[in-house]
Amino acid sequence: QKEVEQDPGPLSVPEGAIVSLNCTYSNSAFQYFMWYRQYSRKGPELLMYTYSSGNKEDGRFTAQVDKSSKYISLFIRDSQPSDSATYLCAMSGGFQKLVFGTGTRLLVSP
Amino acid sequence: NAGVTQTPKFRILKIGQSMTLQCAQDMNHNYMYWYRQDPGMGLKLIYYSVGAGITDKGEVPNGYNVSRSTTEDFPLRLELAAPSQTSVYFCASVDRVVLNQPQHFGDGTRLSIL
């Protein structure tokens, strides 16, 4: 079993849709949870981060962590074509040695 | 402000050749990392460094070597290139190990070994 599981997609949605991206994990020691966005032929850039359980909102993006279920989510409201990218979840036990999911490719059509 | 700079952007090697992937950061970050990203496999940590002169293995270190003689530079060395090392390599850095300091990534080196 992989330490972090993420559906690779692709996930295709029309512009304006609400997007839900998810990861599950098996290591209960993970405390820090991050979402990175990666455009084609570019390095990952940090979108959201949370510590422990709960929700965090930043503009159109909301990150949720449910440690009891070992499940994290990223919601994108009013999705735009510029949101088309690969979204990687990442997590760590607190020492910045990140474990990444495989990434979900998102396509937002105009 | 250049951030994290990786060179070269692309390279084709023959089996058995050696090369060094360069990584430089101008943010005076202490921590630096090397990852490889294979299709459908996410990023896997190869080596990391917490400061000049200090390096440690990550999840997939076999076939690679690193050194950290300065704060700015963290080169990754492939001694005997093998087809299994065909991948996209990313270097990242971060100032301190705290939650509100994200890892800054370079744009990667695409390496093909034939």
Q: Kindly list the residues from chain B whose CB atom is less than 8 angstroms away from the CB atom of residue A34.
A: 102
- Whether A98 and B94 lie within 8 Å, measured CB to CB: no
Q: Which residues contact B18 (CB under 8 A, 6 or more apart)?
A: B77, B78, B79, B80, B81
**Matching residue, tokens 């992937």:** B21
Up-side HSE of residue A88: CA atoms within 13 Å toward CB? 23
Residue A40 contacts B where some CB pair is shorter than 8 Å: no
Measured CA to CA in angstroms, residue B96 lies from A86, B29, B50, B102, B103 at distances of 26, 8, 9, 9, 10
Averaged pLDDT, A2-12: 90
What gap in Å lies between CA A91 and CA B4, rounded to an integer? 22
- Whether B94 and A96 lie within 8 Å, measured CB to CB: yes
* Backbone CA torsion sign across B83, B87, B91, B96: negative
Assign A31 a pLDDT band (cuts: 50, 70, 90): confident
- Helix H segments across A34-99? none
Assign A96 a pLDDT band (cuts: 50, 70, 90): low
What local confidence, expressed as pLDDT, does residue B20 receive?
A: 97
| Least confident piece of the model among A6-10, A12-16, B93-97 | B93-97
What gap in Å lies between CA B59 and CA A99, rounded to an integer? 10
Residue B58 contacts A where some CB pair is shorter than 8 Å: yes
| Distance in angstroms between the alpha carbons of the first and the last residue of chain B | 36
pLDDT in tens, chain B (114 residues): 679 999 999 999 999 999 999 999 999 898 999 999 998 788 999 999 989 999 999 999 999 999 999 999 999 999 999 999 999 999 999 887 665 567 889 999 999 999
Give A57-91 pLDDT, tens digit per residue.
999 999 999 999 999 999 999 999 999 999 999 99
- DSSP annotation of B103 reads P
- Whether B92 and A100 lie within 8 Å, measured CB to CB: no
